Chains A and B, each alone.
Chain A
Amino acid sequence: MRLLLALVLPAVMGLASPGLAEDFSLTIKDHRFEPAELEVPAGKDLTLNVTNADATAEEFESNDFDAEKVIAGGQTAVIKIGPLDAGRYEFYGEYHEDSAKGALVAK
């Protein structure tokens, strides 16, 4: 049942909103973002899939765009971001601010 849901739900969601948002992926490993810099299109709705490969939780947060989300260890979070003007937008992991730093570069 869970597997079925896991397969069907994303497909349905995908069908429900065809091409509305562009998808990008990030991984957190050893409290660092991989890649640390991500190029995204300006002026478009974005979907950011952030996978936390560490065992402990991290809070994905940005002061430059609207994002504040706790990601449990081993989980993937979906973060929706409204259209960005061209420019550099930094984000960080609030629980490990010293190492977990990254940026979106909207072009």
Chain B
Amino acid sequence: MLGALIIVFREVIEAGLVVGIVLAATRGIVGRGWWVSLGVASGVLGASIVAAFAGAISNAFAGSGQELLNASVLIIAVVSLTWHNVWMAEHGREIVAELRRVGADVSAGRRPLTALAVVVFVAVMREGSEIVLFLYGIVVSGTSMASLLLGGVLGLAGGAAVTALSYFGLIALPTRYIFSVTSVLLALLAAGMAAQAIRFLQAAGVVTALHTRLWDSSWLLPDSSIVGRMLHVLVGYTDKPTGLQLLVYLATLGTIAVLMWWVRSSRQPKPAH
């Protein structure tokens, strides 16, 4: 039971952190519950499909199908996050102003919800397919299924608790800071996902440039630890990065920062406040 609990918990916190940040980033925006639910539901469906076709996906592209699928969905998520952040840089101030004035849900931020639903879908699908395969293996082997499934359910509950903690932690911030903080978090999330996409492309042998590792900090903070995993999701931490991973990480952060600055300054020539 403990094994199942730990595996499910490990996978669920990764998706849960993403959902928590997205919920905080869309606080007070009409229709967000529906979009986030849609992201989660389609993610679970996608995870089941990926799990069902795991063999066929693996065999595609000379055995690199899984890596290429992972890299593709991560790149889609990075593009969605970038678009969301740029949109928020342009409209965030109006939304905050409206939120503070009416103290109720506003409809102005409806557009980036689709982008964030895509991000939730990708996070749930990636982590979920591993859980589905693992639980399916338990069901097939049949041994002490009840206690293992109980472990799975407890792991799911633990992961959901992490989602709730990250969400309530973020919305405890004053309204005017929430969008700035979540924008930074989403940019870091995007950079980490871009670096991970590179890792998958390198594992598939598609990209071979700069594929020697830069350092090894696994003695200090291993990827496999819970803290390592959480930092991996939140800021893209990895204990053995390759040169290209670091380069793409920094390039993604830089691109988002420049685009946000550009949109903001072209729209509002006068400085804030």
Contact = CB atoms under 8 A, between A and B. Distances in A.
Interface stretch (B150-158, B203-211, B265-273): B203-211
Contacts of B203: 66-69, 79-80
A70 B133 contact: yes
Given A63-B223, A63-B224, A70 B66 contact: yes
A76 B63 contact: yes
Interface residues of B, number: 36
Contacts, number: 81
Given A79-B203, A82-B202, A82-B212, A71 B58 contact: yes
Interface residues of A, number: 33
Interface stretch (B36-44, B76-84, B86-94, B135-143): B135-143
A57 B66 contact: no
B32 interface: no
Contacts of B218: 63-64
Contacts of B239: 63
Contacts of B51: 57
Interface in A57-106: 57, 59, 63-80, 82-83, 94-95, 97-98
A61 to B, nearest CB: 8
Contacts of A69: 58, 66-67, 203
Interface string B48-67: 00010011001100111011
B224 A95 contact: no
Given A66-B199, A67-B203, A72-B54, A78 B64 contact: yes
A94 B58 contact: no
A73 B55 CA distance: 8
B59 A75 contact: yes
Interface string B191-222: 00000000100111100100111000010001
A59 B70 CA distance: 15
Contacts of B222: 63
B134 A95 contact: yes
A69 B55 CA distance: 12
A77 B240 contact: no
Given A69-B67, A72-B54, A72-B58, A82 B211 contact: yes
Contact of A82 (B133, B204, B242): B242
A13 interface: yes
Contacts of A76: 63
Contact of A74 (B55, B140, B212): B55
Interface of A: 9-10, 13, 21, 45, 55-57, 59, 63-80, 82-83, 94-95, 97-98
Interface of B: 3, 7, 51, 54-55, 58-59, 62-64, 66-67, 129-130, 133-134, 136-137, 140-141, 199, 202-205, 208, 211-213, 218, 222-224, 239-240, 242
